[in-house]
Structure 1
Amino acid sequence: MASLFPVFLALAVTLGLMFAAFVFVRKGPNQVLLRSSLMLTFAVCYLTWMITYLAQMNPLMGTFPSRVPLFVI
């Protein structure tokens, strides 16, 4: 059984990257655009990874054994 520790670890790393993007973007005419773009990119990448990871932990669909035996000719 997989644990949720990697999810929270990746969340902490993502929040750290978002904070770094907020603090270390240089001042200029496009500062808000760069901050928003970087923070949105980190958030979307994290959400994509998290949804994929959690979907593998408990899949909704899978192979189910049939109740009627199949005869292969």
Structure 2
Amino acid sequence: MSFGHVVFIGLIALALGVACWFGARPGKNQVIFRSSALLTITCCYVMWAVTYLAQLNPLIAPIRSDLRVE
């Protein structure tokens, strides 16, 4: 199910990118607006995906404090 979440959020990010691409008003700053909007969406998605996937399989196993040393 974790892969499904990543794909679903990726599709939402893709839809936002398409909306920003076609929703940009024509003018002298159209390219700057498109570039910054797409970079922002991409960076936010990649950061979310890395954080989400890292929590699924942590590198350091948690240490239980309720175990007694014998």
Structure 1 unaligned spans of 5+: none
Within a 5 Å distance, the mapping from 1:21-40 to structure 2 comes to 21-40=20-39
Give how far 1:17 is off.
Answer: 0.5
Distance 2:2 2:18 in 1: 26
Structure 2 unaligned spans of 5+: none
Identity %: 39
Secondary structure at the counterpart of residue 2 of structure 2: coil
Which structure: greater helix fraction? 2
Whose Rg is larger? Answer: 1
Give how far 1:4 is off.
Answer: 1.3
Q: RMSD between aligned alpha carbons? A: 1.8
- Runs of 4+ off more than 3 Å: none
Report what 2:6 is aligned to: 7
